[in-house]
Structure 1
């Protein structure tokens, strides 16, 4: 009897969530998962170390080329900027609602 482990749809997806011009879908998905496990801060530090000390090496981490890592970091930077923009817009909106309520309460 075989048991099936439920894998989230995101993990089964053959595509990475950013433009990939470096390798096939399966390899890109593996690289994406490896980088996700390391985290943005660690990957950024490893890429900086590579750029300073091993610029001529064709790979940075786990046989992943620097171009793929730069694209991965750019994607995560865009996502962080988007989250920050949404947060700021929501805080501004709530502030305007609160200020409007305060002004209306003052005139009553």
Structure 2
């Protein structure tokens, strides 16, 4: 079996379990996992596991990784929109000056 590497730091278990947990959380989706984690923290904080046998710390790290990735994507999107707006404004000003 091929060893997979998680895209975030894992201090909760070995690679095989971590990869299975990561795949299970990916299958559930960020929104569902976030809702399940919020419910866990509000009502069952004394339990060590959130979803099936996945520890709360692993779920927290997984959500933090996805939040950082979403923030990075949003930053790149905004930077590209700003750059394209500046290019369009520059072209408009140069076009107006030539006329």
Both structures adopt the same fold (TM-score exceeding 0.5) = yes
* Structure 2 CA distance for aligned equivalents of residues 84 and 69 of structure 1: 22
Q: 1:95 aligns with which of 69, 72, 85?
A: 85
Q: Report deviation, 1:13.
A: 4.8
TM-score of the pair, normalised by structure 1 = 0.88
TM-score of the pair, normalised by structure 2 = 0.95
Q: Report deviation, 1:78.
A: 0.4
Q: Note the residue ranges of structure 2 that are not aligned, 5 or more in a row.
A: none
Residues paired across the two proteins, number: 97
Q: Which residue of 2 aligns with 1:38?
A: 28
Q: Note the residue ranges of structure 1 that are not aligned, 5 or more in a row.
A: 1-11
Structure 1 stretches of 4+ with a deviation exceeding 2 A read none
Q: What is the root-mean-square deviation in Å for CA atoms of aligned residues?
A: 0.8
Q: Is the 8 A contact 2:3 2:15 kept in 1?
A: no
